[in-house]
Amino acid sequence: MTRRARLFITALFLLPIGALVVYLFLTWSPGHPFHMRWDPAFAWDSISTEGEGEGNFFSVPVLVENVSSTPIHLLGLSHVPESAGTTPVYSASPHYHTEVPPEIIWWGEEIPAHSTVQVHTSVLVGSMGAARTKDSEVQYLYVSRTKAWLIKGSLWVSARLPASWREHVPLVNANAGAMTISPPKTSAPPATP
Q: What is the pLDDT of residue 52?
A: 56
Calpha distance 58→131 (Å, rounded): 12
* Cα-based distances in Å from 95 to 27, 145, 154: 22, 17, 14
> Is 47 domain-assigned?
no
Q: What is the pLDDT of residue 46?
A: 64
Domain that holds residue 132: 26-41+55-180
Q: What is the DSSP letter of 2?
A: -
> Is 105 domain-assigned?
yes
Neighbours of 89 (CB within 10 A): 16
Q: What is the pLDDT of residue 50?
A: 58
Any residues with CB less than 8 A from the CB of 183 and at least 6 apart, and which?
38, 131, 132, 133, 134, 135, 136
> Is 2 domain-assigned?
no
Calpha distance 171→70 (Å, rounded): 22
Instruction: Give, for 35, the enclosing helix (H) or strand (E).
Output: strand 34-38
Which among 145, 57, 146 is positioned nearest to 108, based on CA atoms?
Answer: 145
> Is 147 domain-assigned?
yes
Could you list the pLDDT tens digit for every one of the 193 residues in the chain? Answer: 788 888 888 888 889 888 888 887 777 878 888 988 888 877 766 666 555 555 677 778 888 999 998 899 888 888 877 654 444 444 443 333 334 344 445 567 888 999 999 888 878 777 777 777 778 888 888 888 888 888 888 888 888 888 888 888 877 778 888 888 887 775 444 444 5
> Is 140 domain-assigned?
yes
> Is 11 domain-assigned?
no
Q: What is the pLDDT of residue 65?
A: 92
> Is 14 domain-assigned?
no
> Is 159 domain-assigned?
yes
What is the tally of structural domains in the chain?
A: 1
- The pTM for the full model equals 0.69
